[in-house]
Structure 1
């Protein structure tokens, strides 16, 4: 079984050696002591999780995390820092980190955290990659693909996200605000109009499926019904 690949960024040589030595018993660890070089490495190679110090040369851990999140919303990020202020921890978590451990930390705790977040990440990947059955159609969310024996349709990213949201909540009323916030991050007028267009397109695609309906719930939202 291949080991999960960890990007570990720490400029303290002694701490980096001790931590890497322990982590390498369980993971494939790529250590870097410079923030800018670490981010460049992240962009070029594939990793399963990032462990970041905050105080780093050229580019600090907060900056690295910000740039990572622009490119990958799912990869787990753990901060390791001597900064003990609550504000620093909150800043790290707001940037999208999964956890923030204060130095000196327990190597056993770090390994446990890494294993937990890797497991959670794998579950998310498996969930996103699964296919759904909708009447005669098979929907592959990860590939934006809706197909049956007669046709194969490629949906837009947002159409796929909307269809997945309905399929994860079949026979359940979804409030309009929840749908808009999930897909657009807001519920303003223009997003609302876009949602109506996407609903109409999905209804048109699925119109031949007698057992599949997207019902309008007045003044509340929508419900996908599958008999």
Structure 2
């Protein structure tokens, strides 16, 4: 499979080098040099992955990421940037980034990180039935739509996998390390921070039903506790 990747990078030397290298690795690369150009592209195209620089000439990559989460919620993105402060890294993950890669980077490592994201976001969970009932909520695993009596929301691939894994062990502890290795592919610091963001999102999505609690068991894992309803 040839994956389509949107590269948003204003440095022409780096952008050209990455486009040529990734093309040799059988990616289809569309390269733009500004946030406004990225928005125009994304209004009529849906890549498999977006690589974002932060220091863009018009709007910064963080602002663009917020727009992507609203307008293209199913498209994963990563940051590739020279912004290395911890506050920037955490901001990137809080915005929903799948990875935060600091420049300069080895091109082979970039490809490995890209493939890790694509492997975990392009595959649906392998589960025997297509629907879950969680308290007041109904979740269709084929469409990834989570619905309640008052609203519905389409989850991202990773949100879907996380919800399904927690639901498969309803009212039981699911180990943090298991979730990290199965969904994120590793158990490093940045993956743990990313997972915490996704857990917070699921809590918000499930907040309408007061009988549902997504509990953090310190240093162990999480419990999706449902007092009523079945999965």
TM-score range with shorter-chain normalisation? 0.5 to 0.7
Q: Which residue of the partner structure matches residue 111 of structure 1?
A: 111
Q: Which residue of the partner structure matches residue 86 of structure 1?
A: 86
Q: Which residue of the partner structure matches residue 13 of structure 1?
A: 12
**Aligned-pair distance for 1:54?**
0.7
Q: Distance in 2 between matches of 1:106 and 1:61?
A: 21
Q: Which runs of 5+ in 2 are unaligned?
A: 133-138, 156-160, 173-200, 213-224
Q: TM-score, normalised by structure 1?
A: 0.63
Q: Distance in 2 between matches of 1:83 and 1:107?
A: 18
1:40 and 2:40 aligned: yes
Q: Distance in 2 between matches of 1:54 and 1:160?
A: 27
**Aligned-pair distance for 1:192?**
3.5
Q: Which residue of the partner structure matches residue 213 of structure 1?
A: none
Q: 1:185 aligns with which of 205, 212, 215?
A: 205
Rg larger in 1 or in 2? 1
Q: Distance in 2 between matches of 1:120 and 1:101?
A: 17
Q: Distance in 1 between matches of 2:36 and 2:55?
A: 12
Q: Distance in 2 between matches of 1:37 and 1:105?
A: 25
Q: Distance in 1 between matches of 2:96 and 2:109?
A: 20
**Aligned-pair distance for 1:31?**
0.3
In the superposition, relative to structure 1, how do residues 142 and 14 fare at CA in structure 2: closer, same or farther (>3 Å)? same
**Aligned-pair distance for 1:92?**
1.0
Q: Distance in 2 between matches of 1:166 and 1:22?
A: 36
Q: TM-score, normalised by structure 2?
A: 0.62
Structure with the higher helix share, 1 or 2: 1
In the superposition, relative to structure 1, how do residues 89 and 184 fare at CA in structure 2: closer, same or farther (>3 Å)? closer
In the superposition, relative to structure 1, how do residues 113 and 81 fare at CA in structure 2: closer, same or farther (>3 Å)? same
C-alpha RMSD of matched pairs (Å)? 3.9
Q: What is the aligned length?
A: 177
Q: Which runs of 5+ in 1 are unaligned?
A: 146-154, 175-180, 197-218
Q: Distance in 2 between matches of 1:36 and 1:94?
A: 22
**Aligned-pair distance for 1:156?**
8.3
Deviations 1:187-213 (A, max 9, x none): 4xxx247x89xxxxxxxxxxxxxxxxx
